[in-house]
Chains A and B, each alone.
Chain A
Amino acid sequence: MSTTTKHPIELANVWKRYQIGSHDSLRDALPGLLRRWTRRTDAGTPEGEFWALSDVSFHVRQGETLGIVGSNGAGKSTILKLLSRITTQTKGALRVHGLLAALIELGGGFHPDLTGEENIYLQGTMLGLRHREIRRLYDSIVAFSELEKFLKTPVKRYSSGMVVRLGFAVAAHVHPDVLLIDEVLAVGDLAFQQKCFRRIDELRQAGTTMIFISHNLEAVQKLCDRVLLLKEGRVIGEGTPAEMIRRYHDDVSMRTARTTPVSTATAESAFQIDEIALRDSSGNTLETLESGTPLRVEMAFTTRRLIRQPVVRVAIERLDGLLCHATTTRSDHTLPEVLTGAGTLTLEYPSLNLLPNLYQVTVEVFEEGNPIPLAAVRQGHCFQITTDHHEQGAVHLDHHWTMNGHQAA
């Protein structure tokens, strides 16, 4: 841990152990207590031990937004709990400089029998606001929640969406130096989610240091400057959002070999996609590609019966869900009217002009008149585009600039 610069968040060699199988009554605990006294050991049973975090170290710079991704149980929420002082570490040191607030559960402090207004005060004080601050911010909180008419109603009559809206309205008015966000944006409709993102963005502009934990990888990519990848309690990567998300994806799909597609076909399926390969111009399988270079999608298939008027659709989607391009064999008349046997279908893009990001390929096969695909491999293949262009947006477009009437200095 550096002694010269004081980062707002610092973790050094943090370990966290949990004891599973706790005792809830004295009767259960008595044998354990006696054992502890006679043997003078403080630890519980070794079978019940579980290390949630092992030797975790990282820091977050002032004004930076750090994302933490990883599978369930990787230790993400444990880090937040340690930072919010809800629990304490077994070994190692954590330091937070400045006022910290955590959005871990919106409306968690609400009591169902109290009205919306009363709960605003209750939840606000739990998040560290003073009564007089809440009084001052009250109208703003109400306006943000859009629940003016319901403030005198007990919260038990609210829908879950209303609870979340009120909870976030209160939380949005806390002005911490450091903000921890854990999956709170998973609930709520589209309008609400956009409001949340806008608010978080405002806090970013104001220089708030943030840690963002989410399974919504699109959001992580949008909001975070840097991402930490956790697996089973250890930091296995630290880098740009795109890199870490890609590594997370890889890790997850490593369990299903990448050449075996995740398909919706069953053993009796008429059409089976045996393998999908992404290749470059030399025929090598690729994971990264330079913008503007060729991409080949090869699909090996087997049919179990006659397929009438088959249509294959290949789509390229950006990781945040944007459909960049899709095409079908219908326009090219590539496939015969009736398809049998096995074979390989190849789709070639001479020049894939997408901008740097993570993309995934989806393949679907249809038969005449049936809107439901016979076989589909959705988002099974990720690849990354890298390039030197300094453009923004989804695609690279050829262009050039001209200027008239300027006097050279």
Chain B
Amino acid sequence: MFAHLKELYWYRDLLISLALRDIKVRYRQTLLGVAWAVLQPLAFMLIFTLVFAKFGQVRSDGTPYPLFSYTGLVPWTLFSTGLTLAVNSVAANMNLVKKIYFPREVFPIGVIIGCLTDFLIASTLIAGLMLWYKVPASLQLLWLPWLLAIEVLFVIAISLMVSAMNVFYRDVKYIVPLVVQLGMFATPVIYPISAVPAHLRSWYLLNPMAVVIDGMRSVVLHAQAPGIGELCQATAIVLVLSIGAYLYFKRVEVKFADLI
């Protein structure tokens, strides 16, 4: 496992090059360019505000609903877009897989690094919205790197698994977006975690994304620290998942090029 990581580190410049490639290619010939990074969560935020807040009367724990949903949508977009783009990343580059050697995990990981930049751009709007709604910033924001790390590791873990499976069974790339859509309802994006009944909450918090999004909201909107217990639990789950996913990927990786 450490040999694999060492090799991946050796190819770190390739990782950056691929991430840059994805970002440039995605925005180069578009009209709005990087503004798209903000527009996706923004568009959903507007719809959700209309549908769930106005019509559905969903509570949002005291925060104005637009800010509430947007703070959930930005990390969720990182997860959903990252996973959706990563699942086909290896299969789409099969011509390279058959010709040049480098660790194949650079494809899904490179995609996610690209999505991270979108995330950072979209988060600037959160700052803007906080100013607008006069929500103060606090030292609790320092929890954000840990929360982000959990999320990124989680996306990478799942991406490694599905991108590998997708090489063998191409329908995986259709299954993933569907499951992700459903997953949004199992994560406090639209509604706050307080809406989850107490007896189900411990099961609910097994979902690392639930912990991350709820944590980010606590920290950004309520200037409150996230629950340490949940944080450690999510970290442990994500670490185990990452190691398992990485080992699985490296084991089946050698078979990729054999698929004619």
Of A114-122, A230-238, A324-332, A376-384, the one with at least 4 CB within 8 A of chain B? A114-122
* A111/B21 in contact, CB under 8 A: yes
Beta-carbon nearest neighbor of A119 in chain B: B21
CA distance A27 to B255 in the complex (A): 20
* A20/B260 in contact, CB under 8 A: yes
* A122/B17 in contact, CB under 8 A: yes
Residues of B within 8 A of A81 (CB): 98, 257
Say yes or no for A360: interface residue by CB 8 A criterion.
no
Q: Which of A122-162 contact B (CB under 8 A)?
A: 122, 125-131
Say yes or no for B185: interface residue by CB 8 A criterion.
no
Say yes or no for B102: interface residue by CB 8 A criterion.
yes
* A126/B260 in contact, CB under 8 A: no
* B170/A126 in contact, CB under 8 A: no
Say yes or no for A109: interface residue by CB 8 A criterion.
yes
CA distance A27 to B169 in the complex (A): 9
Given contacts A25-B171, A108-B99, whether A113 and B257 have CB atoms under 8 Å apart is no
Say yes or no for B95: interface residue by CB 8 A criterion.
yes
Say yes or no for A24: interface residue by CB 8 A criterion.
yes
* B169/A29 in contact, CB under 8 A: yes
Residues of B within 8 A of A24 (CB): 169-170
Q: Which of B74-115 contact A (CB under 8 A)?
A: 95-102
Partner of B21 from A18, A20, A26, A122 at Cβ < 8 Å:
A122
Partner of A125 from B17, B95, B97, B258 at Cβ < 8 Å:
B17
Given contacts A22-B259, A122-B17, A126-B14, whether A105 and B99 have CB atoms under 8 Å apart is yes
* B258/A18 in contact, CB under 8 A: yes
B158 to chain A, nearest CB (A): 18
CA distance A131 to B12 in the complex (A): 10
CA distance A19 to B255 in the complex (A): 11
Q: Mask for A74-117, Cβ within 8 A of B = 1, else 0?
A: 00000001001111100000000000001011001101011000
Say yes or no for B16: interface residue by CB 8 A criterion.
yes
Q: Mask for B123-148, Cβ within 8 A of A = 1, else 0?
A: 00000000000000000000000000
Say yes or no for A255: interface residue by CB 8 A criterion.
no
Say yes or no for B248: interface residue by CB 8 A criterion.
no
Say yes or no for B181: interface residue by CB 8 A criterion.
no
B45 to chain A, nearest CB (A): 30
* B100/A102 in contact, CB under 8 A: yes
Contact residues of A: prevailing secondary structure: loop
Interface size on A, residues (CB 8 A): 34
Given contacts A29-B169, A125-B14, whether A113 and B25 have CB atoms under 8 Å apart is yes
Given contacts A18-B260, A125-B13, whether A114 and B101 have CB atoms under 8 Å apart is no
Q: Which of A47-94 contact B (CB under 8 A)?
A: 81, 84-88
Residues of A within 8 A of B18 (CB): 122
CA distance A409 to B101 in the complex (A): 63
Partner of B16 from A22, A108, A131 at Cβ < 8 Å:
A131
CA distance A104 to B96 in the complex (A): 10
Q: Mask for B7-28, Cβ within 8 A of A = 1, else 0?
A: 0000101101110110011001
Say yes or no for A23: interface residue by CB 8 A criterion.
yes
Beta-carbon nearest neighbor of A111 in chain B: B21
* A118/B257 in contact, CB under 8 A: no
A96 to chain B, nearest CB (A): 11
Partner of A109 from B25, B96, B255, B260 at Cβ < 8 Å:
B96
**Of A23, A126, A128, which is in contact with the most chain B CB atoms at under 10 Å from its CB?**
A126
Partner of B102 from A18, A26, A88, A126 at Cβ < 8 Å:
A126
Residues of A within 8 A of B260 (CB): 18, 20, 22
CA distance A396 to B67 in the complex (A): 91
Q: Mask for A233-247, Cβ within 8 A of B = 1, else 0?
A: 000000000000000
Residues of A within 8 A of B255 (CB): 87
* A108/B257 in contact, CB under 8 A: no
Residues of B within 8 A of A20 (CB): 260
Partner of B97 from A18, A23, A86 at Cβ < 8 Å:
A86
Residues of B within 8 A of A126 (CB): 14, 17, 96, 100, 102
CA distance A331 to B89 in the complex (A): 69
Say yes or no for B57: interface residue by CB 8 A criterion.
no
Partner of A121 from B17, B98, B171, B254 at Cβ < 8 Å:
B17
A402 to chain B, nearest CB (A): 59
* B24/A118 in contact, CB under 8 A: yes
**Of B25, B29, B102, B258, which is in contact with the most chain A CB atoms at under 10 Å from its CB?**
B258
CA distance A22 to B29 in the complex (A): 37
B106 to chain A, nearest CB (A): 9
Known contacts A25-B169, A86-B257; 4 further A-B pairs (Cβ under 8 A) = A18-B260, A20-B260, A108-B99, A131-B16
Can you list 18 residue pairs at the A/B interface with Cβ under 8 Å? A22-B168, A23-B169, A25-B170, A26-B171, A85-B101, A86-B98, A86-B101, A87-B255, A104-B99, A105-B95, A105-B99, A108-B95, A114-B24, A114-B25, A121-B17, A125-B14, A126-B100, A128-B102
6 tightest CB-CB pairs across the interface, nearest first? A125-B14, A88-B254, A125-B17, A87-B257, A105-B99, A125-B13
